[in-house]
């Protein structure tokens, strides 16, 4: 006992094998040493607080009095991971101690995400990151059967919030009257025809910052996370609400993402300034784009799948070869953060809007702008107020007929025809419209605002 | 569902009641300030930090509100889940943060921020009362030895008349941590003997409390030294408070050397020395001071000092409008005013309101010399103008409210507007420009919101009268007897000229957070200056006649460490030009000055270049080496007094010293045939304004005993005297 005490009192250096490669994080080689240092005193063979014993792989999987502590492939949903990453000092493990160093937390996160391997020869238990996601045939085209609408989604318990989260992301299905709207730790689904909420998808990973339907409307991409903590992309089956895959393991919330029309690629980016493009089939990184000098704020694959557009917070906007990641054009015109980009359905025009107040229609074959509107969202100047007023363009979406719907800091949503002429304006009272969408049939215009409300308008006069 | 709705309704009511309390400007902004978020090294930097920027010390709440809640909606402030706002995660160190943890989750700061976000992070522009004044109590702290620490309290008064204890939201610092320290909660702890100030900052205000720390041992007894005038009374008050004793009165030799150097810019010659030594009149010191104040040398020195402070230089580069002829017109005008003892308020008034040709109307060159540039720059000029005439540095307020003084961006831009109409119109010949103020020129615009700012004097309530040249209103305000800023600044600069330390130091940085070391004395000097009708000779007469000015530099047991209270004379290296003039006067050397006529003194010399004047210029190696102002900026720090190796080498082997010694003085003295004793005594009197001691005389005689007619040993003695610190210092 005396010897044991001495051993405990001596600082133990945790030897973790070099940066885990690929899926090679294992309980035996990587996780156990970390648990030994931080957890086993209270949750080991000697003492089992909450009936939890983390000493062996088998007892760990068994869990404690509260049930299982790890869910394969789902770190954010695993009690073990939640306990060591809680931001509340009182709730975090180990108790009354500084948080476990970030690099160790990342090892555990990876281990759970990659399927709880016991040793390097064990099989992954994770259902998500393996080859379970199969892009549907004719993914880029109109589905042959009836377009995807959710059916019988299970009712989820929505997290209690003090107020509604601003609408940070929104998307309309290209083929069905279906609208997805971001909310705190879940996604709200609306039937555009009835304008009623018809269900929701849980997103315990945090806040969804980006929502995109696949080209055929069958898959919903939800990207987001928790600021300066974790970020990832989750693909949902629109019909069933099932999780198809989870991609990315970011240190900050994912702010921009898109899925390619053939559903084979997912591009994501955020404060890391790097665009990462993953293969959906095997969750492997296909290529990285490192040209951006600031946060990635927007990403979009062209409808024909050939190009990828990416915008950043410094105003940088680039067009890439979607297959290999080669640079095609740098569309240098924005003087401040690019806030939104949208492709026209024929892939020939890209619209971009930014905090500099500009809205630009780019010819993606020449790399030059074909229409440039320097102040499409002019704010009203109150009397006695001088200087520059915020006039940023926050969101822009093309309809299938080439018309464009935008919103900005002037508290208006505006509708433009193919040649960039403004047709209609809509005022949003007492809030800033943050996101826009056009229904699949082009008849309904939708905007979400900074107080979390969703506004529906009929396009025709 | 209905139940849920009712519950939400009830919750909303409860929150609605609590919501009355919290405001962005009144409650949130002070926390960003106190936690250090908006300081210059962090998010207050002009480029922000790590992608997030705040206004420095919170001068722009509207912009800060936008960046916190609107710039990236939902990230920094998350109204759905307040605890997950990045603002809070970063500030508590729950996620990686370059600035580390600023406060804990159980602090009041955290609770306030969470509650504000829970209430929807509301804005409150134009709805909340502003802080209009802060007070720090106690206003005076006296410690005897290692006494118990004392807690201070900061109270803020708001525009609606309410008061609030803001001790937990203020920042504290001490300007003399060797005397007393103050911790982040406002607790003052004595450290060592001396005096200083502790300051509290809140909103845009800074306020100080004086701290005096006395030695633990009693036994101090005031020596009751005589008092010559009010200056001594006020200095003695201060010394008694700090338990210091003044040094003894300086002897006549020290006094004559000091007063000659300070008033005329060179030591007395042997005739002047002997006349004073023989004088037995009881008031011989006062009579000498009066004589010197009337001398042309005093006028030369005073003219040179003013010319230096307005950056007077002559150049041949036409666009800067500082032609040689313009510089000479300005110089001669200044000399004439000083020679006629023109009241200082009129002297300044004429320069401020001057219009006309730069070549013929000397004072117009205030507008060409203060800022040397091809175009007139209102902002740079306003900053330099304020620094020179008011001793106030307002340039901080160009980009943010002054962090350590009362000046805001409103004050700055309002002041700049006095000069936005200043025009230089090309005259009859290329070198000539007509300088005038265009009426109804567009005023400057506020940097934050682009508001046009009508010309307003510093600290003024409303705009200046619009029917006149706006500079007339400015000059009237500036030189008005009611404007304490002006009289205090000039009095402080005059004091610094004779004590080589201002009552406020540096002399061009008067601010709340840099209080005078003897406030009542500065007030009295300013009051007398106004009473004398801004007669600078009268004020100088008071200063030189005070016993304080005439103290010896030798310290006693109590004042050894005193460097701020004038309990003894300060040793000070001579200014570069005075040192050179001293060498010239001692050796009777006819030294030429570049581009100036024969017989010019160093204090009369100013740079004259064939080219551009908007760069550091000395035009004399000696003056450069010994730290004369290069006139590159308005800052008093351009004049340097610190020793360097090249100064030593210059004095030891430099051509100035060699030429001065070879100028023939020793030969002429030898021709008198008075003998070695008289000759050595003459050299001592010339260089050091005293006779050699018996020891010195014996040592010197040993050197020259061999051959009376040989001049080399005498030149060696002269060289040694010029190289002594006693020569190059005023003591």
Same domain, A435 and A303: yes
Kindly report, residue by residue over A342-373, the tens digit of the pLDDT: 999 999 999 999 999 999 999 999 989 999 99
Residues A109 and A174 in one domain: no
Residue A60 lies in a domain: yes
A143 domain-assigned:
no
Give pLDDT, residue A143: 82
Stretch (H or E) spanning A171:
strand A170-172
Burial of residue B613, with CB atoms counted within 10 A of its CB: 0-12 exposed, 13-18 middle, 19 or more buried: buried
Q: Residue A230's closest chain B neighbor by CA? A: B95
Q: Domain extents for chain B?
A: 16-118, 131-214, 298-479, 574-657, 664-730
B449 has a chain A CB within 8 A of its CB: yes
User: Which residues of A have a CB under 8 Å from any CB of B?
Assistant: 87-89, 102, 159, 161-166, 168, 183-184, 207, 226-229, 253, 271, 294-295, 313, 385-388, 390, 409, 432, 434, 450, 452
Please tell me if residue B459 touches chain A, with a CB cutoff of 8 Å. Answer: no
Sheet holding B205-214, edge to edge: B140-144, B205-214, B194-202, B171-174
How many whole angstroms separate alpha carbon A402 and alpha carbon A421? 12
Q: Which residues contact B538 (CB under 8 A, 6 or more apart)?
A: B528, B532
pLDDT at A243: 92
Q: Is residue A390 part of a domain?
A: yes
Q: What is the pLDDT at residue A313?
A: 95
In a domain, A142, yes or no: no
* pLDDT of amino acid A137: 66
Domain boundary at A95, A113, A131, which?
A113
User: What is the pLDDT of chain A when averaged over all its residues?
Assistant: 88
**Alpha-carbon distance B503 to B491, whole Å?**
9
- Closest partner residue to A184 (CB to CB) among B66, B81, B90 is B81
pLDDT at B708: 67
Residue with more model confidence, B495 or A282: B495
Write the pLDDT tens digit of every residue in B167-192: 999 999 999 999 999 999 999 999 98
- Does the residue A125 lie in any domain? no
Q: Tokens 């019988």 map to which residue?
A: A152
Overall number of domains in chain A:
2
Task: Examine the fold and report which residue of A65, A81, A113 is the final residue of a domain before the chain moves on.
Answer: A113
CB–CB contact A386 B79 (8 Å): no
Looking up residue A228, the CATH number of its domain turns out to be 2.130.10.10
Same domain assignment for residues A45 and A186: no
- Same domain flag for A91 and A178: no
Question: Residue A224's closest chain B neighbor by CA?
Answer: B75
What is the topology classification, in CATH, of domain B131-214?
Immunoglobulin-like (2.60.40)
Q: Considering the domain boundaries, does residue A239 fall inside one?
A: yes
- The mean pLDDT values, 10 residues at a time, for chain B of 731 residues are 45 40 92 94 91 93 94 94 95 91 95 95 87 94 88 96 95 93 95 92 93 85 95 96 95 97 96 96 96 97 96 92 96 97 97 96 96 94 96 91 88 94 93 92 90 89 73 93 94 96 94 94 97 97 98 93 92 95 96 92 94 91 94 91 91 93 93 90 96 94 78 93 95 92
Tokens for B496, please give them.
Answer: 């610094």
pLDDT tens, position by position, A293-327: 999 999 999 999 999 999 999 999 999 999 999 99
Nearest to B402 by CA among B208, B204, B207, B209: B204
Is position A433 within any domain?
Answer: yes
- For a pLDDT cut of 70, what percent of chain A falls above it? 92
The answer to whether the CB of B417 falls within 8 A of the CB of B379 is: no
Which structural domain, as residue segments, surrounds residue A59? 2-113
Model confidence at A28: pLDDT above 90: no
Q: Do B83 and A166 touch (CB under 8 A)?
A: no
DSSP 8-state code for residue B25: I
- Chain B CB contacts of A387 below 8 Å: 446, 448-451
How far the first Cα of chain B sits from its last, in Å, is 91
Band of pLDDT at residue A153, cut at 50, 70 and 90: confident
Contact B449 A387 (CB under 8 A): yes
Q: Is A155 within a domain?
A: no
Contact B432, B391 (CB under 8 A): no
Residue A8 binned pLDDT confidence (cut-offs 50, 70, 90): very low
pLDDT for the residue A1: 39
- The whole-number pLDDT of residue B20 equals 58
Stretch A35-62: mean pLDDT:
87
Nearest to B95 among A161, A228, A385 (CB): A228
| CB spacing of A161 vs B89 below 8 angstroms | no
ipTM: 0.77
pLDDT, average across residues A106-135:
72
**pLDDT tens, B56-101?**
999 999 999 999 999 999 999 999 999 999 999 999 998 889 999 9
> Given this model, what pLDDT does residue B466 score?
66
> Both A428 and A306 in a single domain?
yes
């Amino acid at each position: 006992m005396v010897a044991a005490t001495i051993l405990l009192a001596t600082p133990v250096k945790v030897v973790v094998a070099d940066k885990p490669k690929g899926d090679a994080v294992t309980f035996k080689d990587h996780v156990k040493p970390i648990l030994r240092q931080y957890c086993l005193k209270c949750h080991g063979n000697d003492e089992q607080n909450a009936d939890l014993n983390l000493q062996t792989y088998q007892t760990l999987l068994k869990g404690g009095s509260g049930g299982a502590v790890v869910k394969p492939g789902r770190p954010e949903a695993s009690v073990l991971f939640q306990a060591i990453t809680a931001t509340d000092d009182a709730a975090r493990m180990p108790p009354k101690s500084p948080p476990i160093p970030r690099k160790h937390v990342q090892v555990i996160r990876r281990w759970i995400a990659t399927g709880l391997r016991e040793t390097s020869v064990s099989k992954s238990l994770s259902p998500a990151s393996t080859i379970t996601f199969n892009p549907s045939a004719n993914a880029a085209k109109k589905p042959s059967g009836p377009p995807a609408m959710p059916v019988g989604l299970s009712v989820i318990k929505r997290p209690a919030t003090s107020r509604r989260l601003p609408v940070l992301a929104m998307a309309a299905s290209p083929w069905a009257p279906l609208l997805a709207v971001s909310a705190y730790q879940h996604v709200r689904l609306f039937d555009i025809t009835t304008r009623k909420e018809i269900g929701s998808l849980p997103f315990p990973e945090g806040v969804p910052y980006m929502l995109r339907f696949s080209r055929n409307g069958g898959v919903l991409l939800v990207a987001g996370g928790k600021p300066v903590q974790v970020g990832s992309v989750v693909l949902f089956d629109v019909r069933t609400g099932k999780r198809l895959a989870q991609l990315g393991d970011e240190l900050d919330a994912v702010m921009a993402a898109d899925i390619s029309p053939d559903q084979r690629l997912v591009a994501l980016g955020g404060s890391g300034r790097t665009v990462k493009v993953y293969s959906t089939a095997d969750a492997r990184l296909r290529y990285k784009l490192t040209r951006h000098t600031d946060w990635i704020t927007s990403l979009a694959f062209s409808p024909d799948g050939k190009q990828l557009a990416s915008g950043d917070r410094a105003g940088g906007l680039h067009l890439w070869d979607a297959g290999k990641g080669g640079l095609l054009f740098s569309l240098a015109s924005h003087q401040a953060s690019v806030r939104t980009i949208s492709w026209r359905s024929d892939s020939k025009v890209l619209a971009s809007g930014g905090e500099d107040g500009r809205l630009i229609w780019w010819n993606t074959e020449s790399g030059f702008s074909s229409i440039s509107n320097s102040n499409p969202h002019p704010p009203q100047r109150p009397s006695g107020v001088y200087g520059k007023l915020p006039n940023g363009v926050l969101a822009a979406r093309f309809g299938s007929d080439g018309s464009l719907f935008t919103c900005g800091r002037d508290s208006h949503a505006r509708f433009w025809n193919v040649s960039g002429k403004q047709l209609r304006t809509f005022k949003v009272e007492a809030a800033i419209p943050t996101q826009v969408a056009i229904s699949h049939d082009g008849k309904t215009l939708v905007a979400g605002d900074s107080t979390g409300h969703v506004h529906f308008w009929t396009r025709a006069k | 569902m209905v139940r849920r709705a009712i519950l939400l309704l009830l919750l909303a009511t409860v929150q609605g009641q609590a919501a009355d309390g919290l405001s962005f400007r009144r409650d949130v902004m002070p926390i960003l300030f106190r936690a250090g978020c908006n300081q210059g090294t962090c998010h207050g930097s002009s480029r922000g930090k790590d992608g997030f920027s705040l206004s420095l010390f919170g001068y722009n709440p509207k912009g800060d509100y936008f960046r916190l809640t609107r710039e990236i909606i939902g990230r920094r402030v998350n109204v759905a889940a307040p605890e997950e706002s990045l603002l809070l995660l970063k500030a508590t160190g729950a996620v990686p943060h370059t600035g580390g943890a600023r406060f804990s989750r159980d602090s009041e700061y955290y609770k306030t921020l969470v509650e504000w976000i829970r209430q929807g992070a509301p804005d409150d522009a134009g709805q909340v009362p502003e802080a209009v004044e802060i007070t720090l109590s106690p206003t005076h702290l006296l410690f005897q030895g290692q006494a118990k620490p004392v807690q201070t309290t900061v109270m803020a008064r708001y525009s609606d008349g309410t008061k609030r204890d803001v001790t937990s939201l203020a920042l504290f610092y001490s300007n003399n941590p060797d005397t007393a320290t103050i911790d982040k909660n406002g607790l003052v702890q004595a450290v060592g003997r001396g005096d200083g100030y502790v300051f509290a900052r809140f909103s845009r205000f800074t306020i100080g409390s004086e701290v005096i720390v006395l030695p633990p041992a009693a036994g101090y007894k005031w020596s009751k030294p005589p008092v010559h005038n009010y200056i001594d009374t006020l200095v003695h008050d201060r010394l008694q408070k700090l338990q210091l004793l003044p040094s003894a009165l300086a002897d006549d030799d020290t006094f004559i050397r000091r007063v000659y150097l300070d008033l005329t810019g060179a030591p007395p010659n042997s005739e002047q020395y002997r006349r004073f030594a023989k004088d037995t009149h009881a008031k011989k010191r006062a009579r000498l001071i009066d004589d010197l104040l009337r001398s042309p040398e005093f006028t030369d020195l005073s003219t040179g000092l003013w010319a230096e402070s307005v950056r007077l230089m002559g150049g041949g580069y036409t666009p800067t409008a500082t032609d040689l002829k313009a510089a000479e017109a300005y110089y001669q005008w200044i000399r004439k005013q000083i020679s006629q003892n023109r009241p200082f308020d009129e002297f300044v008034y004429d320069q401020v309101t001057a219009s006309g040709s730069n070549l013929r109307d000397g004072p117009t060159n205030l507008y060409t010399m203060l800022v040397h540039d091809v175009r007139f720059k209102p902002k740079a000029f306003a900053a330099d103008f304020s620094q020179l005439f008011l001793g106030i540095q307002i340039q901080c307020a160009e980009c943010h409210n002054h962090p350590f003084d009362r000046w805001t961006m409103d004050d700055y831009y309002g002041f700049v507007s006095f000069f936005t109409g200043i025009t230089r119109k090309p005259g009859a010949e290329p070198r000539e420009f007509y300088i005038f103020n265009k009426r109804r020129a567009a005023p400057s615009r506020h940097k934050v919101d682009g508001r046009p700012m009508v010309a307003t004097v510093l600290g003024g309530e409303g705009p200046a009268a619009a029917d006149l040249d706006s500079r007339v209103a400015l000059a009237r305000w500036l030189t008005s007897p009611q404007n304490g800023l002006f009289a205090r600044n000039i009095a402080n600069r005059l004091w610094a000229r004779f004590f080589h330390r201002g009552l406020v130091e540096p002399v061009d940085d008067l601010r709340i957070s840099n209080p005078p070391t003897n406030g009542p004395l500065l007030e009295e000097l300013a009051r007398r200056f106004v009473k004398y009708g801004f007669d600078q000779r009268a004020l100088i007469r008071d200063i030189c006649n005070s016993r304080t000015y005439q103290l010896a530099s030798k310290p006693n047991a109590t004042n050894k460490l005193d460097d701020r209270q004038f309990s003894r004379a300060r040793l000070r290296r001579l200014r570069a030009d005075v040192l050179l003039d001293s060498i010239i006067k001692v050796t009777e050397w006819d030294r030429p000055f570049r581009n100036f006529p024969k017989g010019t003194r160093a204090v009369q010399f100013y740079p004259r270049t064939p080219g551009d004047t908007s760069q550091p210029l000395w035009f004399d190696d000696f003056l450069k080496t010994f730290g004369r102002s290069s006139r590159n900026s308005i800052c008093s720090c351009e004049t340097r007094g610190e020793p360097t190796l090249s100064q030593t080498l210059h004095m030891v082997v430099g051509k100035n010293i060699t030429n001065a010694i070879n100028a023939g003085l020793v030969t002429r003295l030898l021709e008198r045939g008075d003998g070695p004793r008289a000759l050595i005594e003459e050299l001592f009197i010339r260089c050091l304004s005293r006779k050699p001691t018996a020891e010195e005389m014996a040592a010197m005689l040993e050197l020259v005993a061999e051959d009376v007619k040989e001049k080399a040993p005498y030149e060696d003695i002269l060289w040694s005297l010029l190289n002594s610190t006693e020569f190059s210092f005023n003591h």
